[in-house]
Amino acid sequence: MSEFKALLVSEEQGDYVRRVVTRQLAELPVGEVLIRVHWSSLNYKDAMSASGNKGVTRSYPHTPGIDAAGVVESSSVAELAVGDEVIVTGYDLGMNTPGGFGQYIRVPAAWVLKRPAGLTLRESMVLGTAGLTAALCIDKLERAGLTPGSGPVLVTGATGGVGSIAVAMLAHQGHEVVAVTGKADRVDFLRGLGAKEVLSREELQAGTGKVLLGERWAGAVDTVGGDILFNVVKSLRYDASVACCGLTAGGQFQASVFPFILRNVNLLGVDSVEQPLVAKASMWDRLSLQWKTDLSQLEQEITLDALPDYIETILAGGMVGRAVVNLG
């Protein structure tokens, strides 16, 4: 088969137009592994790529999709054989390399991970980059001393992909989870994922001008950044940590050293894109075994043809949970 379907984003007179088109395998870049993609997932970075954000994707036309799960069709390396079920997340996939919103990708072998035995291809894409990021956040918090029973763990941006998975995973592991959202109509959704308490975004924004706030959180996963992040830092308990992985509320905040030198707290940065493959493999093993969590309440399955509408939804801030893309 030399033809396949893909979402193609084209720049046309200053606008970025998204269409499902037929492409040729010969149009894919040179790479060691050709993969027939069966599942992908929609992330905010994909929506930025699909709307012409040059900080994500430099040139168009382009096929986004930073996540892909499928079957090896051809391989020039011994470690990956035809028929192997594999996943690819991050690196340059979907950024400047044609991504998982196409039925085929061709990528370097160093990006490709064999599917963990405890997950199906579909389950791996319900998780995708969002699940991997949530796992990396929780892993860093654990290594900094967080354990179940330590106290309430805060999750900001809790209805988004990373946030909703973090809520479910932390609750599954026995933590007391407090979720933060700007969507007042999603309280029941978050409680269904395991949140013991749900706070409004406005509650977390109060006290921005203060150098310290009352000690509340034994740990936190922050997916939004901005002043909300530093308000979380200011309200961590002594020796506690927050793992930071997003910036939807802004890339800057007003900061002081007081929480760090008076309360011994930690601000932990988390990146899932350029993690070495061995580190990703370790997290995927945990996601497929001891951290495996029922995510059925937060996922919805969509088709390639539905992607343009869902991209508009996620850009407008209306996306809840995870959209897993069925590429057939």
> Distance between CA 139 and CA 136 in Å, rounded?
5
3-class DSSP state of 147? coil
Apex 305 CA angle, 302 and 307, nearest 5:
60
CA-based Rg of the chain, rounded to a whole angstrom? 20
Q: Which of 260, 273, 253 is nearest to 234 (CA)?
A: 260
> Distance between CA 100 and CA 36 in Å, rounded?
10
Residue 234 sits in a domain whose CATH number is: 3.40.50.720
Q: Could you tell me the maximum CA-CA distance found in the chain, to the nearest angstrom?
A: 63
How confident is the prediction along the chain (328 residues), in pLDDT tens digits per residue? 689 999 999 999 889 999 999 999 999 999 999 999 999 999 999 999 999 999 999 999 999 999 999 999 999 999 999 999 999 999 999 999 999 999 999 999 999 999 999 999 999 999 999 999 999 999 999 999 999 999 999 999 999 999 999 999 999 999 999 999 999 899 999 999 999 999 999 998 888 889 999 999 999 999 999 999 999 999 999 999 999 999 877 788 888 999 999 999 999 999 999 999 999 999 999 999 999 999 999 999 999 999 999 999 999 888 899 999 999 9
Structure tokens at 31: 């790479």
Number of structural domains the chain divides into:
2
pLDDT for residue 249? 75
* Residue 196 and residue 105 share a domain: no
Angle, helices 121-143/161-172, rounded to nearest 10 degrees: 70
pLDDT for residue 1? 66
Has residue 310 been placed in a domain? yes
> Distance between CA 168 and CA 194 in Å, rounded?
6
* Residue 146 and residue 260 share a domain: yes
Q: Find all residues with CB under 8 Å of 173, minimum gap 6, and list them.
A: 138, 148, 291
> Distance between CA 113 and CA 93 in Å, rounded?
13
Has residue 124 been placed in a domain? no
* Residue 70 and residue 42 share a domain: yes
* Residue 135 and residue 8 share a domain: no
Has residue 283 been placed in a domain? no
> Distance between CA 48 and CA 182 in Å, rounded?
21
Contact status, residue 85 vs residue 114, Cβ threshold 8 Å: yes
Q: Tell me the CB-side half-sphere exposure of residue 328, using CA atoms within 13 A.
A: 9
Angle, helices 121-143/277-288, rounded to nearest 10 degrees: 100
* Residue 170 and residue 137 share a domain: yes
3-class DSSP state of 249? coil
Q: Starting from the edge strand earliest in sequence, which strands make up the sheet with 266-269, in order? A: 197-200, 176-181, 152-155, 217-222, 236-244, 266-269
Residue 100 sits in a domain whose CATH number is: 3.90.180.10
* Residue 237 and residue 156 share a domain: yes
* Residue 217 and residue 137 share a domain: yes
- Domain with 144, as residue range(s), is 129-269
Structure tokens at 159: 């209805």
> Distance between CA 159 and CA 53 in Å, rounded?
23
* Residue 64 and residue 135 share a domain: no
* Residue 134 and residue 103 share a domain: no
